[in-house]
Amino acid sequence: MAIIHPLKPRMGAGLVLTVIVAIWVVSVAVAIPNLLYAEIFTYNGTDITVCYLKWPDGESGGPSDFASVLS
């Protein structure tokens, strides 16, 4: 139908705003664990700084770290 009616609006302004807000809410929800559990470690006597995720259960390198890298 885009070829027949190229200028016909597909979504209303309200739906577009709802989709944008939903994308932001999901994005913030996915990023919250990184905000809560990220830690910065600086090696003594060097300029090397490492940021890592320190989970409350003490595990690291598991599926949760992989999922946070994807987000």
- Is residue 55 classed exposed, middle or buried when 0-12, 13-18 and 19+ CB atoms within 10 A define those classes? middle
Tally of domains in the chain: 1
pLDDT of residue 55: 78
Position 2 in a domain: no
pLDDT tens-digit profile, the chain (71 residues): 557 877 877 888 899 999 999 999 999 998 898 889 888 888 888 888 888 888 787 766 655 555 555 54
Domain region containing 70:
33-71
Position 40 in a domain: yes
Position 24 in a domain: no
pTM: predicted TM-score of the whole model, two decimal places: 0.58
Position 59 in a domain: yes
pLDDT of residue 54: 82
Position 39 in a domain: yes
pLDDT of residue 71: 44
**Residues facing 38 on adjacent strands:** 53
